[in-house]
Chains A and B, each alone.
Chain A
């Protein structure tokens, strides 16, 4: 059982995301996170999926994804050298005073940004891998996290190796 990051290049047609996510639920595959957006070519999109399972399971996921007509390429990014990032926005209780400065310190250590300051709250923006986000979450928890939102992981292979849209 391990986590895999799959890069899925798809045609940018309506319903593609429903096909992809439907496939996961229907076949009992578990999605940890899923992030979608357009890419360098306007008629295609990249989906990054993080899924867990043993090798056989992941193999099946890849094969089933490949069966979808609009799926152009599935790359198991985990197997290659890659960069992966996730963005999280965390709204945390921060009374003016001690707590507020502590939170700002923690944010600084994590290279996170304070992007909103309210009477009693701060919103922290942090990017990084899942562990980093979990770590800052743990540190902020004692102050009282009132809302947290994550984008899901996006990932690319390092260096020259690409999964180009123009082949």
Chain B
């Protein structure tokens, strides 16, 4: 005989789970009791939100399903924003929550919350297990749903009596039932693929717009081969960074609101847009009528609901990006590239309108990121918070590989980065994991310094400290006449706080110290915090104002040349 909690742990082990990020409480005591001697590692975070972000970071860095655990009511509610984050970025996370005993369900019992009701709109699916017999197969089903098709978070709510009830393991339902309503399509329709190939051959100015779906599908290799075969320039979304190496000659960098000028020009001028695993988010498209206005559009996505959601598409192809690109590579005719004139034009834009960096001896965030990229040779795992820090990292780090860049895209969740970095470090223990944070977002989950200290997690924390909620301040500067309403933050002694947790750190105030301090942090065993006091009113440029077309950028390189920024 086994308890439900024992069955749960066994099921997780069977599915290959090695680590759980969690926080205990009354409703999940039976699980914690099992964890006491289970050979699954459990990381005690300092806030449940961090548990789900860490599971999310683990999943993004590893490509596997991340698992988090919380108690009922307050614990479960603390997971919600993290679940929503994973949902918006299609990250496979399984969230386990405790629940009051089944006979108390619906009675407003102590620490009860209807967490399946609350999370319905922000999960791919969720379950309330009312019968211990269902437990094992529900766990299997949850992992299957989270980790296949368009990936996403799945929550399993576990009433306490289900966790304590004893059952003979032979009496469990163990096979996942046939999920009649869940049959993801992986193979692209051959006719659609043929039509797409014809369109590619007819086009003169094609561009690929690759999103996070390429990385989720593990299709970066296919993407690069496909682009090379037809000589098509590639621009990626923020979520797609790393899908093609930053230094690849066909890479145009990121597009959209803070994209490169050349990516946004290429999109505006192209006659064929091939969207792959990307969802035409408004931060990418700007004013939708100005987005690729003259282009035919091919849209490849595993989620049929993404196709035609925001923009009308000529050729939809539903399926797995890797398989579809492989099919296209196999069936396409190389050598007939139409790209040459076009790629020349694109290269010219790239040369004439590079991302700008200022070389005036002051401490600029762009230089910090570039130096970091240089020191790590474009490798390592870079996790960002949200705001200017995120955009500078996205723009200036030269990513070589997929799953190297971890950032909250869809929800833009401040406080995500630090715990996600913890998760990423457990997923890839041999990599350098560097958190890029703003002083605002770092303070949103700053308590995780406790977790990092307790387990000596060697995450390097790089704070780009402008003593502002920088990105909001930037909008206030540009669109609200510099009325900085509630966006300045007082000075914080981050190094002192780290020290209180026993974590070494350093405050950096001069550009001359960038390289040395970064090297020192990276060479140090264990965690390390760097507090870079950057130029306070530095902005992220170029920038497409909300609602403008993406070629209508401000802070462009050419305006700079004229000296009238």
Contact = CB atoms under 8 A, between A and B. Distances in A.
A94 B482 CA distance: 70
Interface string A70-97: 1111000000000000000000000000
Contacts of B303: 67
A63 B181 contact: no
A32 interface: no
Contacts of B308: 56, 59-60
A15 B303 CA distance: 23
A120 interface: no
Interface residues of B, number: 19
A15 B127 CA distance: 9
Contacts, number: 41
B86 to A, nearest CB: 16
Interface string B108-127: 00000000110011001100
Contact of B305 (A18, A26, A67): A67
Interface residues on A, range: 20 to 34
Contact of B181 (A22, A56, A60, A71): A71
Given A59-B308, A64-B305, A69-B125, A22 B180 contact: no
A126 B288 CA distance: 48
A66 B303 CA distance: 10
A11 interface: yes
A55 to B, nearest CB: 10
Given A10-B181, A72-B181, A66 B305 contact: yes
A68 interface: yes
A19 interface: yes
A68 B305 contact: no
B145 A26 contact: no
Contacts of B116: 15
A142 to B, nearest CB: 45
B309 interface: yes
A59 B121 CA distance: 20
Given A15-B116, A19-B120, A26-B121, A69 B309 contact: no
A59 B309 CA distance: 9
10 contacts: A15-B116, A15-B120, A15-B128, A22-B120, A56-B308, A60-B305, A60-B309, A63-B305, A63-B309, A69-B181
Given A18-B117, A63-B307, 14 more contacts: A10-B181, A11-B180, A11-B181, A14-B128, A15-B116, A22-B120, A26-B121, A59-B308, A60-B305, A63-B304, A63-B309, A66-B305, A69-B124, A69-B125
